[in-house]
Amino acid sequence: MEQKVIGRKEKVSLPDLGLSLVWAKVDTGAYTSSIHAENLEVLEVNGKRVLQFQPLLPGHKSYTGEIVTFEEFREKKVKNSFGHAEVRYLIETTFELAGESYSAEFTLSDRSSMRNAILLGRKILKNRFLVDVSKINLAKPYRNK
């Protein structure tokens, strides 16, 4: 499989979350990928546990305020950037980058103090992409369509 070259920041789409061409930080130091989530709630709907949240921050240009629901989710212990372990919800969803669509796992966390609402870690990148840290926006999916 040929690996595509991407930069340290890329625009990605997450169609299941209603997000299109949102800037993501490519972080080869992080194993897990992460999405900013607001108003996380686990509810019981028709006898089944579901996870509901709003992706992105109010004020972000791609923020819709819509609540997304996932029936399949789990909890995962993750070390944050300060080395402290915390439990986060993990979902599997589709993401689009460089004209391709992939299924991948993302943890949900408070990234409000971070510059980018989405972080792409090594697990997503492995065997798919090479990262040129001196560039940004190499994939340019919106120009290929």
CATH number of 4-144: 2.40.70.10
With a cut of 60, say whether residue 96 has pLDDT above it. Answer: yes
Q: Where are the domains of the chain?
A: 4-144
Spatial separation of the C-alpha atoms in residues 87 and 77, rounded to whole Å = 4
Q: What is the pLDDT of residue 19?
A: 92
Eight-state DSSP code of residue 16:
G
Spatial separation of the C-alpha atoms in residues 18 and 15, rounded to whole Å = 5
With a cut of 80, say whether residue 143 has pLDDT above it. Answer: no
Spatial separation of the C-alpha atoms in residues 131 and 135, rounded to whole Å = 9
pTM for this one?
A: 0.90
With a cut of 60, say whether residue 121 has pLDDT above it. Answer: yes
Spatial separation of the C-alpha atoms in residues 77 and 115, rounded to whole Å = 23
Q: What is the pLDDT of residue 141?
A: 53
pLDDT in tens, 44-61: 999 999 999 999 877 788
Spatial separation of the C-alpha atoms in residues 25 and 118, rounded to whole Å = 6
Amino acid at 22: V
